[in-house]
Amino acid sequence: MPKDIDPNKPLFPISVAAEILEVDPRTLRIYEEKGLINPSRTDGNRRLYSLKDIDLLEYVHYLVQIKRVNAAGVREILSILKSMPEDTREELTANVEKTIEKLPQKALEKYKKGDEDIAESLTSE
């Protein structure tokens, strides 16, 4: 029986995080390049993501793919989130997860696919 996982502990390599989020690993690299996420690194410089990182990435991906927010907008939203109490942030990310589950099929496919134009949409700051 698995024990509880510390949500802050970086455990998941980029391939696993991408699989959990149903996106291409390149999408996660782009988010890092744009300063939207900062995963932990191993001594060998491999990215590792925590459960909290994955929740944040889900929210970032939702903002970019569904709400079409550019990188500057996402950074501002994340800055505001960091100033909120943790329980409020957790409630918000839980609500976003529920919203994603309720997306119409076409929007859900777009969210999961991670459009080819993701890098382009993030550069229009």
Structural domain boundaries in the chain: 12-123
pTM: 0.76
Nearest in space to 59 (alpha carbons), one of 83, 30, 36, 25: 36
Q: Judge: domain 12-123, CATH 3.60.15.10.
A: no
Tell me the backbone φ, ψ of residue 117, rounded to 5 degrees. -90, 20
CB-CB contact of 7 with 52 (8 Å): yes
Residuewise pLDDT in 10s, the chain (125 residues): 567 888 889 999 999 999 999 889 999 999 999 999 999 999 999 999 999 899 889 889 988 888 888 889 899 888 888 888 888 888 887 788 788 778 888 777 777 665 555 655 665 55
Tokens of 49: 């993501």
Question: What is the strand order of the sheet 40-41 is part of?
Answer: 12-13, 47-49, 40-41
